[in-house]
Amino acid sequence: MKRILTIAGSDSGGGAGIQADLRTIALLGGFGMSVITALTAQNTLGVQDVYPISPEFIEKQIDSVITDIGVDAVKTGMLANSQVVKVVARKIKEYRIEKLIVDPVMIAKGGEPLLSKDAIDTLIEELIPLAFLITPNLSEASAICREPVENLDEMREAAKNIYQKGTKNVLIKGGHLPGRSIDILFDGKSFFEYDSERIHTENTHGTGCVYSAALTFEIAEDNPIHQAVKNAKEFVTSAIRNSLPLGRGHGPANPYAIFSKDIQRYHVISQLKEAVRVLKEGILRIAK
């Protein structure tokens, strides 16, 4: 079982952040561990308050996990501020983590900022160069590149720009583009497009977390980057297609969905077995 550490914020509503990460990792078959960078008072309507965890305590959490259990891959989510980014980058270097997936969470679904403006520079200078993969959406890619990213051509240019900052791979998510949902992967040599249907729903809370957590699992499993993205894209698309209408705002994506057919099939088979058992008992009674 692969050991996967997520370094991110806590979502009290359970739809995103650490909660979505650990749920996804467990469902896929990994052993999830967490370092909490911030506590959020949050629900489907938005983020009501944020309580950042001190860099010193974040460092202690990382040390506790890695020195005992160890890790096969690490993902980052909400890092809140520049000091947190610095301590995470220092620890990634100290423990020589090669499989680092950076989900540069900057803005909540409701529009509230989750990363201070000065931290973007620190992210670019200190964390991106350590990443195996970074997974910005359009607005995050725009913030990193400091120029608009609003169509496929601009996504490709942004991917090349971000790659030059030191990461090994860049996946720019096109979920906010009109039309079909197209993500673009750049591995330093070639571009790869991952196309899926546009699912019209307001219940998309936590989709970025589910996607990057699934990617981290796939990479921990040593799947090639192109296959890892394909598998994770299918997983998150299913989670969005079967999202949950909870709360009065943006309900959460549903990572359980991809397994629902297997669960339904199990119940059908169980019912058939029970029917066969009852039928056999009936036939035996008649025969007697």
pLDDT at 264 over 80: no
Regarding whether 287 and 245 lie in a shared domain, the answer is: no
The predicted model gives 101-128 an average pLDDT of: 87
pLDDT tens per residue, range 154-211:
999 999 999 999 999 999 999 878 888 899 999 999 999 999 888 889 998 999 999 9
Looking at residue 118, its pLDDT comes to 85
Q: What is the residue range of 275's domain? A: 259-288
Regarding whether 274 and 151 lie in a shared domain, the answer is: no
Regarding whether 266 and 144 lie in a shared domain, the answer is: no
Regarding whether 45 and 155 lie in a shared domain, the answer is: yes
Regarding whether 264 and 212 lie in a shared domain, the answer is: no
Regarding whether 45 and 17 lie in a shared domain, the answer is: yes
Looking at residue 266, its pLDDT comes to 45
Looking at residue 116, its pLDDT comes to 82
Regarding whether 55 and 34 lie in a shared domain, the answer is: yes
Regarding whether 275 and 132 lie in a shared domain, the answer is: no
Least confident of 70-74, 89-93, 274-278: 274-278
The predicted model gives 102-118 an average pLDDT of: 81
Number of domains in the chain: 2
Regarding whether 273 and 165 lie in a shared domain, the answer is: no
pLDDT at 99 over 90: yes
Regarding whether 285 and 160 lie in a shared domain, the answer is: no
Regarding whether 286 and 202 lie in a shared domain, the answer is: no
Q: What's 77's domain CATH number?
A: 3.40.1190.20
As annotated, the active-site residues are 173, 204, 206-209
Regarding whether 145 and 264 lie in a shared domain, the answer is: no
pLDDT band at 111 (very low <50, low <70, confident <90, very high): low
One-letter-per-residue 3-state SS of the chain: CCEEEEEEEEECCCCCHHHHHHHHHHHHCCEEEEEEEEEEEEECCEEEEEEECCHHHHHHHHHHHHHHCCCCEEEECCCECHHHHHHHHHHHHHCCCCCEEECCCCECCCCCECECHHHHHHHHHHHHHHCCEECCEHHHHHHHHCCCCCCHHHHHHHHHHHHCCCCCCEEEECCCCCCCEEEEEECCCCEEEEEECCCCCCCCECHHHHHHHHHHHHHHCCCCHHHHHHHHHHHHHHHHHCCCCCCCCCCECCHHHHHHHHHHHHHHHHHHHHHHHHHHHHHHHHHC
